[in-house]
């Protein structure tokens, strides 16, 4: 019994090790082989389900301290909630693998990735554990991310697993070695792609390193504001033209706390700089998670479009009417309606907030509006010292490789840093560190991303080929 369970334990273990913070990304290219072998023998659905559940547990275990710590949810209810969530997520792993057929090796990868596409959009979406994200630390594949994004990289991973499994099953040692060689070869070109562009912008990020447990008194807010201002002044002396404070650096409503707002307006105008920070806004009785931009003495803003479910709002209230009674759910935030790009001294800047960086479909809207630089502001102190901050940090690298635009990331407490257009990490402040970083980021003369340009074409093609795979499966079963 134990021996028969090994494949279903080995696959999720290998996959989890491929993701940050372990970053053993090469494991993903053969991690599926154990369960593929069992599936060909007509593996049971429940065993595959267990395998998918274990993968999500290993990848997303950090949600437990989020629910019990920040969410103040009773341990029993937190465990029950995660069992439900992991069971749901495991279906996107289980169902496609259950219908795996080695005789359709060219079509199965499209069938598998179609479930990743559905996962990004269905029930608010949660594409955290899609296969391509295991390659977040793999700079060698940045050209493939650039051309085909997460879709193409996931297709490559599944196809590689199938080819290796097939040659292993047929005991073709030479073919097996040749495929390994090709996989290694495919993972090399990206290291030779350099950032380019005639424009350069000097950017600073500030990380205050405050926890979610901070008790915010008036005096404490003042201390934190002074800290951020001191780091900002240092970065200005180092030539920074755009300074980024993270999401919720301290409790602050720019529209109503006129004293701080006037200081920031005057400071940015006097020094001819732009300050971007995350704070809350209240307007017409609604609350918004907001990115505020201080520029030329004026104040502009972007309202977060894709809110974090159960963190910033309760989705499907009729179904989850009890959520507020069992957990510390934030006050009901209202989602923004429009993705916005700011023109800052000739550079178009998009400012996605925290969870929004998980969704390539959302970053595409910034790309469509001409974004040349992405500024990601986040508060990763929710996750504590777990794998969560590292995983979200590397997801920013994936977005940089897809759009081939530089990314500056500022975290309240987490991992702040800069990514070049090719995904290379320039500088970083690790979790638990306080301070600031300054870097010069190259801006391309013209941003062209094949993945974002053909985003819907890729999606529709994958879904269409997935339907063909289903057709052949049904036809075979009927015969």
**In this prediction, what percent of the chain has a pLDDT beyond 90?**
71
Residues of the chain with CATH 3.60.110.10: 199-448
Within 319-403, strands assigned E span 341-344, 347-350, 373-378
Quote the CA–CA distance of 95 and 15 in Å, as a whole number. 17
Q: For residue 245, is the peptide bond before it cis, meaning its omega torsion is within 30 degrees of 0?
A: no
Residue 392: pLDDT above 80? yes
pLDDT digits (tens, 9 = 90+) for 248-277: 888 899 989 889 999 999 999 999 999 999
Residue 108: pLDDT above 70? yes
Q: What is residue 323's predicted lDDT score, i.e. its pLDDT?
A: 58
Residue 329: pLDDT above 70? no
Query: Helices 33-40 and 2-18: crossing angle, nearest 10°?
Result: 140
Q: What is residue 150's predicted lDDT score, i.e. its pLDDT?
A: 98
Q: Kindly list the strands in the beta sheet with 373-378, ordered across the sheet, starting from the edge strand earlier in the chain.
A: 341-344, 347-350, 373-378, 407-411, 416-419, 425-429
Tokens of 403: 């759009």
- Give the pLDDT band of residue 316 (cuts 50, 70, 90): low
Q: What is residue 373's predicted lDDT score, i.e. its pLDDT?
A: 97
Query: Going by DSSP bridges, is the β-strand pair 298-303/286-295 parallel, antiparallel, or unpaired?
Result: antiparallel
Contacts of 295 (CB under 8 A, 6+ apart): 268, 274, 275, 342, 344
Lowest mean pLDDT among 231-245, 286-300, 303-317, 414-428: 303-317
Residue 326: pLDDT above 60? no
**In this prediction, what percent of the chain has a pLDDT beyond 70?**
95
Q: Helix-strand-coil percent breakdown of the chain, rounded to 5?
A: 55, 15, 30
Could you give the C-alpha distances from 23 to 56, 264, 454, in angstroms and in order?
16, 40, 29
Q: What is residue 201's predicted lDDT score, i.e. its pLDDT?
A: 96
Mean pLDDT of 271-287: 93
In what helix (H) or strand (E) does residue 61 lie, and over which residues does it extend? none
3-class SS of residue 418: strand
Residue pair 52/59 in contact (Cβ under 8 Å)? The answer is no
In which region does residue 206 sit, left (phi positive, over 0), alpha (psi from -120 to 50) or beta (all else)? beta
Residue pair 438/235 in contact (Cβ under 8 Å)? The answer is yes
pLDDT digits (tens, 9 = 90+) for 461-474: 999 999 999 998 88
Q: What is residue 339's predicted lDDT score, i.e. its pLDDT?
A: 96
Residues facing residue 295 across a β-bridge? 274, 298
pLDDT digits (tens, 9 = 90+) for 198-255: 899 999 999 999 877 788 888 999 999 999 999 999 999 999 999 999 998 888 999 8
Lowest mean pLDDT among 54-63, 326-335, 426-435: 326-335
Residue 136: pLDDT above 90? yes
Quote the CA–CA distance of 470 and 479 in Å, as a whole number. 14
Residue 31: pLDDT above 90? yes
Q: What is residue 177's predicted lDDT score, i.e. its pLDDT?
A: 87
Query: Going by DSSP bridges, is the β-strand pair 341-344/347-350 parallel, antiparallel, or unpaired?
Result: antiparallel
Query: CB count, 10 Å around CB of 286?
Result: 12
Residue 106: pLDDT above 90? no
Contacts of 70 (CB under 8 A, 6+ apart): 212, 328, 382
Residue pair 246/207 in contact (Cβ under 8 Å)? The answer is yes
- Give the pLDDT band of residue 479 (cuts 50, 70, 90): low
Residues facing residue 242 across a β-bridge? 203, 274
Residue pair 451/145 in contact (Cβ under 8 Å)? The answer is yes
Q: What is residue 276's predicted lDDT score, i.e. its pLDDT?
A: 98
Quote the CA–CA distance of 249 and 224 in Å, as a whole number. 8
- Give the pLDDT band of residue 320 (cuts 50, 70, 90): low
Quote the CA–CA distance of 13 and 24 in Å, as a whole number. 11
Quote the CA–CA distance of 306 and 23 in Å, as a whole number. 27
Q: What is residue 38's predicted lDDT score, i.e. its pLDDT?
A: 80
Domain 199-448 has CATH 3.30.479.30: no
Residue 155: pLDDT above 60? yes
Mean pLDDT over the full length of the chain: 91
Mean pLDDT of 368-390: 92
Quote the CA–CA distance of 113 and 121 in Å, as a whole number. 13
Quote the CA–CA distance of 333 and 204 in Å, as a whole number. 29
Tokens of 70: 């920040």
Q: What is residue 319's predicted lDDT score, i.e. its pLDDT?
A: 63
């Amino acid at each position: 019994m134990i021996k028969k369970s090994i494949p279903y334990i080995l696959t999720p273990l290998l996959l989890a090790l491929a993701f940050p913070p372990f970053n053993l990304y090469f494991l993903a290219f053969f991690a599926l082989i154990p369960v593929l072998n069992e599936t060909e023998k007509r593996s049971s659905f429940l065993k595959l389900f267990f395998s998918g559940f274990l993968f999500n547990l290993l990848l997303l275990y950090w949600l437990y301290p989020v629910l019990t710590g920040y969410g103040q949810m009773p341990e029993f209810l937190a465990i029950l909630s995660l069992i439900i969530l992991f069971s749901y997520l495991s279906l996107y792993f289980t169902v496609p693998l259950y219908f795996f057929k080695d005789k359709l090796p060219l079509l199965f990868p499209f069938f598998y990735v179609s479930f990743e596409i559905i996962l990004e959009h269905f029930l608010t979406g949660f594409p955290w554990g899609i296969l391509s994200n295991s390659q977040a630390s793999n700079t060698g594949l940045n050209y493939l991310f650039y051309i085909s994004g997460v879709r193409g990289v996931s297709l490559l991973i599944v196809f590689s697993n199938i080819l290796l499994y097939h040659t292993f099953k047929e005991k073709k040692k030479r073919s097996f070695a040749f495929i390994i060689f090709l996989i290694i070869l495919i993972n090399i070109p990206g290291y030779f792609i350099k950032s380019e562009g005639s424009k350069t912008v000097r950017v600073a990020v500030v990380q205050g390193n405050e926890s979610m447990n901070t008790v915010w008194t008036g005096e404490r807010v003042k201390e934190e504001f002074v800290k951020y201002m001191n780091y900002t002044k240092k970065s200005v002396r180092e030539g920074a033209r755009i300074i980024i404070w993270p999401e919720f650096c301290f409790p602050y409503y720019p529209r109503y706390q006129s004293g701080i707002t006037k200081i920031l307006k005057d400071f940015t105008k006097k020094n001819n700089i732009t300050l971007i920070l995350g704070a809350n806004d209240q307007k017409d009785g609604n609350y918004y998670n907001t990115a505020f931009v201080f520029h030329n003495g004026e104040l502009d803003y972007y309202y977060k479009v894709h809110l974090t479910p159960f963190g910033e709002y309760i989705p499907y209230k009729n179904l989850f009417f009890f959520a507020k009674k069992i957990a510390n759910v934030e006050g009901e935030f209202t989602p923004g309606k429009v993705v916005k790009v700011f023109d800052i001294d000739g550079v178009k800047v998009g400012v996605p907030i925290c969870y929004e960086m998980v969704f390539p479909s959302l970053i595409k809207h910034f790309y469509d509006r001409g974004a040349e630089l992405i500024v990601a502001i986040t508060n990763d102190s929710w996750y504590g010292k777990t794998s969560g901050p590292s995983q979200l940090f590397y997801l920013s690298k994936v977005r940089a490789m897809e759009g081939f635009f530089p990314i500056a990331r500022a975290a309240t407490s987490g991992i702040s840093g800069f990514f070049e257009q090719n995904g290379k990490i320039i500088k970083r402040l690790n979790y638990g560190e306080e301070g600031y970083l300054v870097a010069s980021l190259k801006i391309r003369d013209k941003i062209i991303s094949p993945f974002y340009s053909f985003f819907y074409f890729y999606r529709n093609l994958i879904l269409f080929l997935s339907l063909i795979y289903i057709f052949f499966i049904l036809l075979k079963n009927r015969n």
